[in-house]
Amino acid sequence: MTARVVVVGSTNLDLVVTTAQLPRPGETVLGERFRTVPGGKGANQAVAAARAGAACEFVGAVGSDEFAGLLRESLIAAGVGVRGLRTVPGPSGVALIAVDRDAENFIVVAPGANAALTELDADDRAAIAAADVLLLQLEVPLSTVVAAAGCARAAGTTVVLNAAPAATLPDELLDLVDVLVVNEHEAEVVAGGALDALLKLVPRAVLTLGARGAAYADRDGLRLSVPAPRIDAVDTTAAGDAFTGALAVGWAERGGADIEASLRWACAAGAACAQRPGASSALPDRATIDALHDATYRGTP
Ligand code: ADP
């Protein structure tokens, strides 16, 4: 069964300069290489889901500037449906990123068009209702995240929320979440703890643990811990997006059954992303995820 995943979320163009030294406030430094990288957690997770094999639709907004075409094209190139991608007047979302040789960085995000994603239209609602999984993050207005989740709940579509960037969540959203996905920092901000604290807020929680893999708990008493593949990590940027996109696909394909299998597959996707340099360009395709999955977990009961 092909998984049907809808993402309602952000798309940004990352403007990245590498530099020997990061500037201090008021200082100007001469940088080295400059590149543009399509990003935003929403778009990254949509690309991750499509590469992992889903029929994926993206609902989001780009601006009326010269960056919009790049953002739209990168989604289309990954096979993501863009019927729900609107163009709004003004700038697209951008992230200004400076990275030094130790991979230390400065990042400033200007949400631009992402802040204008305030309404869902009838086609967006129909897409959410027809999907197996709705995948959400916190880089578009909270009212839109809540509206999308409400639409999914009414239609029986599973709501997966990646609470990134970390924020405390209102009850009106928590009540609509089926599966919450967070890293350790996000868990601390969202719930002030780990899995036990998360389960006070939502019925099912996934905690990503970097090189240590991922853990899962639900209110039915199921607890799982999955080790990550052992790899040489080159660049862990977007590993969380690869994990979350693949988890949504695995969850949809199994109808929420065999959660351990979905977690292993998601861990393989996160690790495969960490094996390659780059962010969205490092999101793995299905064959790559399968190969690392099989090499890691074959023979595991
Ligand atoms: P985030 O990028 O959101 O902080 P994590 O660092 O927890 O998220 O990474 C997400 C997932 O990617 C992990 O659960 C794991 O499966 C995989 N991953 C990340 N870093 C590594 C690593 N160094 N080795 C193996 N797998 C990794």
Domains detected in the chain: 4-9+40-89+114-297 (3.40.1190.20)
- 85 CA → ligand 1 middle, Å: 29
Q: Look up residue 291 and give its two tokens.
A: 């190969």
Question: Residue 128 pLDDT more than 90?
Answer: yes
Which of 14, 124, 218, 241 is catalytic? The answer is: 241
**Average pLDDT estimate for 37-48:** 97
The residue with tokens 């990288």 is 37
Question: Residue 301 pLDDT more than 80?
Answer: no
User: Alpha carbon of 119 to those of 81, 116, 133, 214, 246: distances in Å?
Assistant: 19, 8, 20, 34, 27
Cβ–ligand 1 distance for 271 under 6 Å, the answer: yes
Interval 267-277: pLDDT, tens: 999 999 999 98
Mutational test site, ligand 1, from 208, 231, 288, max ligand atoms within 8 Å of CB: 208
**Lowest mean per-residue pLDDT among 51-60, 104-113, 187-196:** 104-113
Q: Look up residue 110 and give its two tokens.
A: 């200007």
Which atom, in ligand 1's list, is nearest to the CA of 270? 12
DSSP string, 110-165: E-GGGGG-----HHHHHHHHH-SEEEE-SSS-HHHHHHHHHHHHHHT-EEEEE--S
Dist CA 283 CA 237 (whole Å): 10
- Mean pLDDT score of the chain: 96
Q: Give the residue whose CA is nearest to atom 24 of ligand 1.
A: 211
Rounded to the nearest angstrom, the gap between the alpha carbon of residue 88 and the centroid of all alpha carbons in its chain is 23
Q: Look up residue 30 and give its two tokens.
A: 């001469």
Cβ–ligand 1 distance for 166 under 6 Å, the answer: no
Q: Is 109 helix (H, G, I), strand (E, B) or coil?
A: strand
| Burial of residue 287, with CB atoms counted within 10 A of its CB: 0-12 exposed, 13-18 middle, 19 or more buried | exposed
105-110, strands of its sheet edge to edge: 34-39, 12-18, 93-99, 105-110
Q: Is residue 93 a contact partner of residue 13, using CB atoms and an 8 Å limit? A: yes
Interval 44-100: pLDDT, tens: 999 999 999 999 999 999 999 999 999 999 999 999 999 999 999 999 999 999 999
- 122 CA → ligand 1 middle, Å: 36
Q: How do 4-8 and 133-136 pair as beta strands? A: parallel
Q: Is residue 84 a contact partner of residue 114, using CB atoms and an 8 Å limit? A: no
pLDDT for 176: 98
Cβ–ligand 1 distance for 245 under 6 Å, the answer: no
Q: Look up residue 47 and give its two tokens.
A: 């690309």
Q: Give the residue whose CA is nearest to atom 19 of ligand 1.
A: 210
Q: Is 195 helix (H, G, I), strand (E, B) or coil?
A: helix
pTM strictly above 0.85: yes
As separate numbers, helices (DSSP H) first and strands (DSSP E) second, the chain gives: 10, 13
Let me know if 241 is a catalytic residue.
Answer: yes
**Average pLDDT estimate for 175-198:** 97
Interval 158-173: pLDDT, tens: 999 999 999 999 999 9
- Number of residues assigned to the chain: 301
Cβ–ligand 1 distance for 92 under 6 Å, the answer: no
Interval 237-267: pLDDT, tens: 899 999 999 999 999 999 999 999 999 999 9
pLDDT for 293: 98
